[in-house]
Amino acid sequence: MEFINYYFIPGLVLGCIYALGAVGVSLLFGILRFAHFAHGDLITLGAYIAFFFTSTFGLTGLLSLPMAILFSVVICILIDRFFYKPLRFSPTVILLISSFGIALMLRATVQLIWGVEIESYNEGTFSVPLKIFDTLIIAEKHIYIVLFTFLIILIMHYFLAKTTMGKAMRAVSDNASLAQITGINTEKVIIWTWVIGGSLAASAGVFLGIDTQLQSNMGWDLLLPIFAAAILGGIGSPYGAIIGGLIIGMAEELSSYTWLGDGLPLLSPGYKTGVAFAIMVLLLIWRPSGILKGKVF
């Protein structure tokens, strides 16, 4: 039970957070055709927007999530309108460098408004983990994170598979020129892509803040594992990104388990990010298109 309590469950929670971030990265890449390196800082911004409502109005992190999503979506649409849209038909490298600039702007904004100190949604409170059958120990916040993540994934699946806009997004992702010829409004599709990407980024940020604490570099630190998850699952494939996120999260946590039975971790916890990087590099060598055969440009 120690394996489940202290390694499997934290790995599942971390994998859920990675999955939400990776789906947003994968959708943006599939439709806009560039790697959005500002996505990590969008995660940070969403977490701190929720912190504003928890600290100002006394709400919990989960109750602040809808407002974090709303404000993050508006900010994403404004960023696209004023920064990315004028560069829509520029070379990919220009959009790539622009996303780095947006990342620095978002991080500086967070630091200017909220400072660089570590914050928490539940300052000064202590939560007692739930004990099931006297052996399974799980924090209540972990239950909420996993359940809400799967709920968000189900909503996203319904949107992409059943709605007209979801089908249009898949068409643009497959072939933007052909989709435009058939009458699909690609600019509207792009806006909806930012709506979904911003919502998922805010959700990942709030869940990470609930699980740990808030600091201005939290999203930037997630960027490598998120991209590793998106590449592992197949860049441009949202379902692959979910699988990739869960695999990367589980691999990071399980790498520090005492697999050899000598009481020592297989890898020091300080090398967790290195595990994500190693998985990403090995996959790029073995299967560049990812598990679900995403796009290779």
Question: Rounded mean pLDDT of 16-24?
Answer: 96
Segments making up each domain of the chain, as ranges: 2-121+129-286
Q: Which of 267, 159, 229 is nearest to 16 (CA)?
A: 229
Alpha-carbon torsion angle 93, 97, 100, 106, nearest 10: -110
Q: How many CB atoms lie within 10 A of CB 46?
A: 33
Greater confidence, 16 or 296? 16
Alpha carbons 36 and 41: distance in angstroms, whole number:
10
pLDDT at 284 over 90: no
Alpha helices in the chain (DSSP H): 2-3, 9-32, 39-57, 61-79, 92-114, 140-162, 164-174, 176-181, 186-211, 218-233, 238-254, 272-286
Residues linked to residue 214 through DSSP beta bridges, in sequence order: 119
Mean pLDDT of the chain: 90
Residue type, 18: Y
Map tokens 């059958």 to a residue.
133
CA angle 114, 249, 51 (to 5 degrees): 20
Alpha carbons 129 and 132: distance in angstroms, whole number:
10
Q: pLDDT digits over 158-194, tens only?
A: 999 999 999 999 999 888 888 888 889 999 999 999 9
Question: Rounded mean pLDDT of 209-228?
Answer: 93
Instruction: For residue 294, name the pLDDT band (cuts at 50, 70, 90).
Output: low
Alpha carbons 44 and 228: distance in angstroms, whole number:
19
Alpha carbons 252 and 7: distance in angstroms, whole number:
9
Q: How many CB atoms lie within 10 A of CB 181?
A: 9
pLDDT value, residue 297: 46
Q: pLDDT digits over 36-64, tens only?
A: 999 999 999 999 999 999 999 989 999 99
In this prediction the pTM is: 0.93
pLDDT value, residue 273: 76
CB of 20 closer than 8 Å to CB of 200: yes
Residue type, 284: L
pLDDT at 27 over 50: yes
Alpha carbon 42 to chain centroid, angstroms = 9
Q: Which of 24, 43, 213, 19 is nearest to 125 (CA)?
A: 213
Alpha carbons 175 and 197: distance in angstroms, whole number:
20
Instruction: Write the CATH number of the domain with boundaries 2-121+129-286.
Output: 1.10.3470
Q: How many CB atoms lie within 10 A of CB 186?
A: 17
Distances in Å between the Cα of 45 and the Cα atoms of 57, 62, 73, 165 are 18, 16, 11, 27
Pairing mode, strands 130-132 and 136-138: antiparallel
Greater confidence, 126 or 46? 46
Q: What percent of the chain has pLDDT over 70?
A: 97
pLDDT at 270 over 80: no
Overall residue count recorded for the chain in this entry: 297
pLDDT value, residue 55: 92
Burial 66-88 (b: 16+ CB within 10 A, else e): ebbbebbbebbbebbeebbeeee
